[in-house]
């Protein structure tokens, strides 16, 4: 059996690439907005959420470098991905420098590297970066480096999962903070850093849509459709539940047990919504599959005989020839032609001729295996493709078809058929194989009709009726 290739949906792949570029641009914009206190007393992010901690200067630079590297990593040529790798290394360096301040109790005072005349908020700018943000920058730089160099896929996916875990936990903690409670782990992590971390991770893994974690999400399969529609909502549900739980306790003053009961209700509703989404998606995809199958069946089927048409035959022949080249899977081709069909039409009319063609379709279908293909090649000529069948077994099939035609109770007069048999050979293309089977068919016609001839070099072998 030939393996079915794993296809990506081109439209979805393009969408992921566009998403990663938008994310990269947004990272740069937000990081630059976080750096504006160097020039103005109050930056735009501080105005937006005045109660939140401001992003540290080295964290903002790290995210700006990561966003720039994300944009460059998708460029063509050698220089841009290489520059993206250097920027990712710089992000790792910024994270490691911030961690060194905690490990060795060294104050590197990164903010003081900027001219004091520009630093309007020097105390804030020189403050230490949160430990978790520093760790996240190291991981983010590593993710960017591996994506840019296209190496160590499993390590890259592991870093992406770890970063998603940090970002989702940070967003959930932000939900707790909104409910007027402290989060011990994230109480010094600005929400902007958590937001950028989530975006950056999604952007980097989306920039390589045909490998790693996104390979399934971009696949033109049922699993790909599920991943695209349900994965992100499932990731964000913990943030929502944490916020709802704390709001019920802090803002509404509900006891913890009652708050838990409401969260359980919300959880059940969310699970029910996901199940409904899955069911709706399954229903839609199944209806589309059936409609597609019907359309394909109409496009590949001869309306009169119910057999495959010439288009379907050509496609099947190409696939069998490919299988022969790649897996040495031999097969046989039978070309068939109704004997003296023109005189039958002239004597009994085209309606009677159509009836003969329909009966021929039934007789051929009954003589074949489910894996075989019978096609109306044109007019009163038919073709059979027999996978994994040598010339001897193909001759047996031809003899069975001849017997079926002879034994059928034709309504007006007996109808016979002539058959040419050819086995595929190494180096065959479609034209060469069809020409050999056609030559055998003409030999059967010239030898008296109502018989099958097997194509051979010297001379043709007759399977006489």
User: Taking the mean position of all CA atoms in its chain, how far away is CA 303?
Assistant: 34
Query: Are the beta carbons of 87 and 66 closer than 8 angstroms?
Result: yes
CA atoms within 13 A on the CB side of 349: 2
Query: Are the beta carbons of 84 and 72 closer than 8 angstroms?
Result: yes
pLDDT tens track for 286-315:
676 666 665 555 567 888 998 999 989 999
Q: List the beta strands (DSSP E) in 188-319.
A: none
Which residue is listed with tokens 């989404």?
277
Q: Which of 66, 56, 155 is nearest to 109 (CA)?
A: 56
Structure-token pair, residue 448: 């008296």
Query: Does residue 443 have an active-site annotation?
Result: no
- pTM for the predicted model, two decimal places: 0.53
Phi, psi of 402, rounded to the nearest 5 degrees: -60, -45
pLDDT tens track for 51-98:
445 677 888 889 999 999 999 887 666 678 889 999 999 999 999 988
Q: Which of 404, 356, 202, 56 is nearest to 45 (CA)?
A: 56
Report how far residue 177's alpha carbon sits from residue 197's, in angstroms, rounded to the nearest whole number: 18
User: Which residues of the chain carry a pLDDT beneath 70?
Assistant: 1-7, 37-54, 75-78, 103-129, 172-189, 222, 235-236, 238-254, 256-279, 281-283, 285-286, 288-299, 457-465
pLDDT at site 256: 64
Query: Are the beta carbons of 217 and 147 closer than 8 angstroms?
Result: no
pLDDT tens track for 126-159:
456 678 888 889 999 999 999 988 888 889 888 9
pLDDT at site 184: 46
Alpha-carbon separation of residue 1 from 323, 326, 387, 449 (angstroms): 9, 12, 11, 37
pLDDT at site 39: 54
Query: Are the beta carbons of 363 and 408 closer than 8 angstroms?
Result: yes
SS3 content of the chain, % helix, strand, coil (to 5): 65, 10, 25
pLDDT at site 459: 38
pLDDT at site 110: 47
Q: Which of 192, 174, 178 is nearest to 45 (CA)?
A: 192
pLDDT at site 129: 67
Strand-pair partners of 130 = none
Of 380, 381, 396, 443, catalytic? 380
Burial of 186 from C-beta contacts in 10 A (0-12 / 13-18 / 19+): buried
Report how far residue 203's alpha carbon sits from residue 205's, in angstroms, rounded to the nearest whole number: 6
């Amino acid at each position: 059996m030939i393996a079915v290739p794993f296809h990506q949906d081109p439209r979805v792949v393009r969408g992921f690439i566009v998403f990663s570029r938008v994310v990269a641009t947004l990272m740069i914009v937000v990081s630059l907005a976080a750096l504006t206190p160097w020039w103005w007393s109050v930056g735009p992010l501080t105005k937006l959420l005045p109660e939140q901690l401001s992003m540290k200067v080295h964290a903002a630079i790290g995210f700006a470098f990561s966003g720039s590297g994300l944009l460059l990593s998708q460029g063509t040529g050698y220089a841009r991905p290489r520059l993206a790798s250097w920027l990712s290394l710089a992000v790792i360096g910024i994270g490691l420098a911030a961690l060194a301040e905690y490990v060795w109790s060294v104050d590197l005072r990164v903010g003081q590297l900027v001219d004091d005349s520009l630093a309007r908020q020097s105390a804030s700018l020189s403050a230490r970066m949160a430990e978790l943000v520093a760790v996240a920058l190291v991981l983010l730089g590593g993710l960017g480096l591996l994506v840019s160099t296209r190496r160590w896929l499993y390590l890259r996916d592991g870093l992406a999962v770890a970063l998603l875990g940090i970002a989702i936990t940070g967003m959930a903690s932000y939900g707790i903070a909104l409910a007027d409670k402290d989060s011990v782990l994230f109480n010094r992590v600005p929400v902007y850093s958590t937001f950028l971390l989530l975006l950056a991770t999604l952007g980097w893994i989306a920039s390589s849509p045909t490998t790693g974690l996104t390979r399934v999400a971009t696949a033109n399969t049922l699993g790909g459709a599920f991943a695209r529609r349900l994965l992100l909502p499932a990731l964000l549900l913990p943030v929502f539940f944490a916020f709802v739980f704390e709001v019920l306790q802090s803002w509404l003053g509900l006891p913890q047990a009652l708050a838990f009961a409401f969260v359980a209700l919300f959880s059940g509703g969310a699970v029910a919504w996901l199940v409904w989404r899955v069911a709706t998606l399954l229903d839609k995809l199944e209806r589309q599959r059936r409609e597609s199958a019907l359309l394909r069946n109409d496009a590949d089927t001869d309306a009169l005989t119910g057999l495959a048409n010439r288009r379907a035959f050509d496609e099947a022949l190409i696939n069998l020839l490919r299988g022969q080249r790649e897996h040495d899977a031999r097969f046989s081709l039978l070309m068939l032609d109704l004997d003296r069909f023109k005189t039958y039409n002239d004597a009994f009319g085209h309606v009677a001729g159509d009836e003969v063609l329909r009966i021929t379709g039934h007789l051929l279908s009954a003589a074949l295996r489910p894996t075989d293909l019978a096609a109306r090649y044109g007019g009163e000529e038919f073709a059979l493709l027999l996978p994994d069948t040598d010339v001897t077994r193909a001759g047996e099939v031809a003899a069975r078809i001849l017997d079926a035609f002879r034994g059928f109770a034709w309504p007006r007069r007996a109808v016979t058929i002539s058959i040419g048999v050819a086995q595929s050979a190494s180096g065959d293309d479609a034209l060469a194989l069809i020409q050999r089977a056609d030559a055998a068919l003409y030999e059967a016609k010239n030898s008296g009709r109502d018989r099958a001839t097997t194509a051979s070099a010297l001379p043709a072998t007759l399977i006489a009726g």
